[in-house]
A and B are shown apart, each in its own frame.
Chain A
Amino acid sequence: MKTAKLSIPRTLAMAAVVGAMLVGSSPTVHADWQPPAKKRVKKEKEVAPPTQAQLDALAKLAVARKLTPDDLMAAAKTYMPSGRIDDYILFASGGQSGSVFVVGVPSMRLLRSIAVFTPESWQGYGFSGENDPIRERLKVNGKDVDWGDTHHPALSETKGEYDGQFLFIGDKANSRVGVIDLRDFETKQIVKNPLTISDHGGMFVTPDTDYVIEGGQYATVLGNGYAPLGDYQKSYRGLITFWKFDRATGRVDEAKSFAMELPPYFQDLADAGKGPSEGLVFLNSFNTEMATGGIENGKPPFEAGASQRDMDYMHIIDLHKAEAAFKAGKVEKINGFSVIRIATSISDGLLFLTPEPKSPHGVDVTPNGQYAVVAGKLDPHVTVYSTEKIKKAIAEKSYSGTDPYNLPILNYDAVMEAQVEVGLGPLHTQFDEKGYAYTSLFLESAVARWTLGGDYAKLHEEQPWKLVTKTPVQYNIGHLCVAGGDSASPDGKYLIAMNKWSIDRFFTTGPLLPQNFQLIDISEGGTTMPVLYDCPMGVGEPHYAQMIKADKLKPWGVYPEVGWDPQTQAVEPGAPAPGAERVVKKGNQVEVFMTAVRSHFSPEHVEIDEGDHVVWHITNTERTMDATHGFCIGGYNINLSLEPGEYERIEFTADKPGTYPYYCTEFCSALHLEMMGYLTIKPKDYKAAAK
């Protein structure tokens, strides 16, 4: 039995290896994290076309509900059966709400809000009591500021395309930048611009998100300084700030960021060049008149004073050279922040102006980077600049003069490529992949589709640089948005018109009416561009939005591990773990280690004394999607949203004695009402009643 003899040692060795592998690696139950959602491999069901009887019933219903065939088509294009997920996700600024809104397209369903500059109780954003890191972060120059005016969201880009990793949002009221991580849709950082108090032109990103651009607006004395308005031209300055973004940490690096001093025009929206224009940054301005208002003194009001000249100045910045100047130390520190002075911009050739008509509101670079389009607001044209001609004019010093601050003005005729008359009040432009541009017309309440020329001319049948059609919108459109419409690869199926007035579109909800997002189908070329759907936004006044294909986002369904601190995006080592719940009291310092799981908190009794200072840690140990728990203490302004796996910390001084039932504020389970406990705070003068 040669075979048998030989195979004994072989099997032994094999068994030993196998045994070591199994015993060594996993002898216990794997109760830990599983990937949140098994991949939704929902098989697309084949759908049979409606029968004649069903069509007849549909026709009858349409007549009864006064729906035209176009209405039926619009409904069919937007309706999402239960359980079907939208193809696109829209991130809209939330204006005075200080939030960002997430909307599914084409259904136009509001999916959630993301708190950024305003404390928000559902998300437990800024409701963790004393020393709340979020409240600390929201302070402006040491003062509590509990709101923001979010204007322009910018999705992070890789090679000029949305990569779905981060969203940046600017706060116009306080010149701040919010950084949102799109893994958990939560704000991770707020950066305050130390040079000025308000801005407008933020955020815009460079093609690889090396820099997040914040354009200024109302000129001030930089660094929160003071000068009388009479010294406006001498002492007030405009601004553009380049925030360095560190993708690895997911944070803006303030030390590696810099700003450029600009003349006291009202700088506005910006856009970064891409492709052939990568390295250039374009920035609008108005009030090159440098009007200072004073209607009460019989002077022209700003609205008139800032609108006298037929041309304002587009600013063109050579970002590579500006970065080099910053790195070479050619900066001044103002309020601790690096600023490139105008004189350096002139001597190093960092900044050029060129005329743009008139009080414009939006400069947008075409997807191929060859053109920058300026919408004239008070001029019925969009003006198209060739980025190649701009580079040539800079190289050849083709100047038509200088501005009052000695900045060179590029010869308008040398850089202008085309003008297209689109209508009254053009504001903003987005692009599709079919060679069309779309410009919002505020005064006309319409969206204009017009053709691009140059390399784009072969993509469409119409003449280049010509208006194709206009679609009326309801009413007073501000920004507009096409998926990827400012990126290198737009996806022009839908356009969202972001209308400021809704007037008669919805039920009158008192004198304050919602805004109206209108969904427009731009999938067909030519003159076909129907409105499909009205979406009321009754939660703030959005300005701009960016839209991304849903499958480019990779959000977490639950936090990756139990004890996860969303602020650090890592496991908090001190997070309470199951079995280690406890209340630790040292003198009047109390520390509570609590876990939350359906349907109980542990511990359920926290008995402390008046005057105790409490630090309270909670971990939601759930691993199931949507098994979110809340935690509130009434009277102490405390409410948390504890998403599955999340760790949170609260802190308060127990200065109001009494009995405080704490409970779960997010309906979690059949025994949600029972998910509670008692915090008792014994008064200092308490004496137990005699038995």
Chain B
Amino acid sequence: MSGIYQNLFGPRVPANELESNRVRYMVPTLFLSLARVLLLLSLFLPYWHMSLQAPQYPNGLSVTAYVNHLTGDVHEIDALNHYIGMRPLEEAASFERAASVWMIIAMVLLVEGAAFVHSRWAALLALPVVLFPVGFLLDLSYWLAHFGTHLDPKAPLSSSIKPFVPPVLGEGSVGQFSTVSSAGAGLWFAAVCSVLVVVALYFHRRAYKPLHDRLAAATPTAKEQPCAS
């Protein structure tokens, strides 16, 4: 039983070891904590912007995506999109938006768990967070492509606007509109979070691998050896 436990959760740090090498064991935990805070904060921040410019919109139009909702000129963009047969933006990624808050909370809890697990399984727990920003962009690309290429062929302007895929980041154009898409602060937070977790995993391994190896080659010696660094 203790073997499985040992395998899954890795070794516990003996008290005297923790006393003498506090920094070594604190670093991964600190990085993981910071990552968790950033990811939670990102819930309140915009993940993605698209701004649109056209002659009759001197102030431009814009739409801002948060993980669970859209703000900006959604009403007007939908009104315009109906001419080319695009579905209302609200219909895009409805599952993702409904699940996003709980998914992010779950990922935060997994990272929390990773800090507690002193084995290679920590990396598995942290994996969703590491992949999250890329996953967000891939999902967004999918929806942009899906919406842009599934236009109602009976729409009024279907003959003048061919199916198109707006770029997920950067500049594009459709009809009289030029568009600029960019990552919002939330996505940047998620990206930094992803990097922090990778860095944390590196320090995590550096702290617990030797401990693990030492315990694996378990000797009955009562004396503690200093850890190799």
A-side interface residues toward B, CB under 8 Å?
A: 1, 3-5, 7-8, 11-12, 14-16, 18-19, 22-23, 26-32, 34, 37-38, 40, 83, 597-599, 622-624, 627, 670-671, 674
Contact = CB atoms under 8 A, between A and B. Distances in A.
A598 B78 CA distance: 11
Contact of A31 (B75, B112, B157): B75
B156 A4 contact: no
Contact of B98 (A19, A27, A598, A599): A27
A623 B72 CA distance: 11
B116 A8 contact: yes
B111 to A, nearest CB: 9
A27 B96 CA distance: 11
Contacts of A3: 26, 29
Given A28-B90, A29-B70, A624-B76, A22 B59 contact: no
B109 A40 contact: no
Contact of A34 (B25, B72, B115): B72
A13 to B, nearest CB: 11
A290 B118 CA distance: 108
Contact of A28 (B69, B105, B108): B69
Interface in B43-92: 43-44, 58-59, 68-76, 78-79, 83, 89-90
B158 to A, nearest CB: 13
- The majority secondary structure among interface residues of chain B is helix
B101 interface: yes
B205 to A, nearest CB: 16
Contacts of A14: 40
A15 B40 contact: yes
Contacts of B116: 1, 4-5, 8
B12 interface: yes
Nearest to A26: B69
A23 B101 contact: yes
A28 B40 CA distance: 19
Contacts of A18: 40, 43, 101, 105
Contacts of A622: 79
A674 B156 contact: yes
A597 B79 contact: yes
B101 A22 contact: yes
B74 A30 contact: yes
A1 B70 CA distance: 41
Contacts of B74: 29-31
10 contacts: A1-B13, A4-B116, A11-B112, A18-B43, A19-B101, A27-B69, A30-B74, A624-B76, A627-B79, A670-B157
A7 B111 CA distance: 12
A22 B13 contact: no
B68 A7 contact: no
Contact of B43 (A22, A28, A34): A22
A30 B71 contact: yes
B68 to A, nearest CB: 6
Nearest to B97: A27
Contacts of A28: 69, 90
Contacts of B43: 18, 22
B212 interface: no
Given A3-B26, A4-B29, A27-B68, A12 B156 contact: no
B72 A15 contact: no
Nearest to B29: A3
A30 B78 CA distance: 12
Given A1-B13, A598-B79, A30 B29 contact: no
A670 B161 CA distance: 14
Contacts of A627: 79
Contacts of B72: 34
B75 A623 contact: yes
B5 interface: no
* Minimum-distance CB pairs A-B, first 6: A29-B90, A15-B105, A623-B75, A22-B101, A4-B116, A624-B76
Contacts of B59: 37-38, 40
Contacts of A670: 83, 157
Interface in B127-177: 156-157
A19 B102 contact: yes
Nearest to A597: B79
A192 B76 CA distance: 43
Contact of B105 (A19, A32, A597, A674): A19
Nearest to B57: A624
Nearest to A3: B29
B33 interface: yes
Contacts of B90: 28-29, 31
Residue from the set B36, B44, B75, B156 with the largest chain A CB neighbour count within 10 Å = B75
Nearest to A598: B79
A651 B112 CA distance: 66
A22 B101 CA distance: 7
A11 B68 contact: no
Given A8-B116, A15-B40, A28-B90, 4 more contacts: A1-B12, A12-B109, A27-B98, A671-B156
Contacts of B78: 31
Nearest to B64: A30
A559 to B, nearest CB: 13
Contacts of B97: 27, 29
A11 B109 contact: yes
A330 to B, nearest CB: 58
Contacts of A19: 101-102, 105
A83 B55 CA distance: 13
Contacts of A37: 59
Nearest to A33: B75
Contacts of B101: 18-19, 22-23, 27
A29 B77 CA distance: 13
B79 A624 contact: yes
A11 B106 CA distance: 11
Interface string B11-36: 01100000000000110010001001
B152 to A, nearest CB: 14
Contacts of A598: 79, 83
Contacts of B156: 599, 671, 674
A623 to B, nearest CB: 5
A34 B89 contact: no
Contacts of A624: 73, 75-76, 79
B40 A30 contact: no
Contacts of B12: 1
Contacts of B68: 22-23, 26-27
A674 to B, nearest CB: 7
A32 B72 CA distance: 9
Contacts of A11: 36, 108-109, 112
Contacts of A83: 58
B155 to A, nearest CB: 11
Contacts of B109: 11-12, 15
Contacts of B71: 30, 34
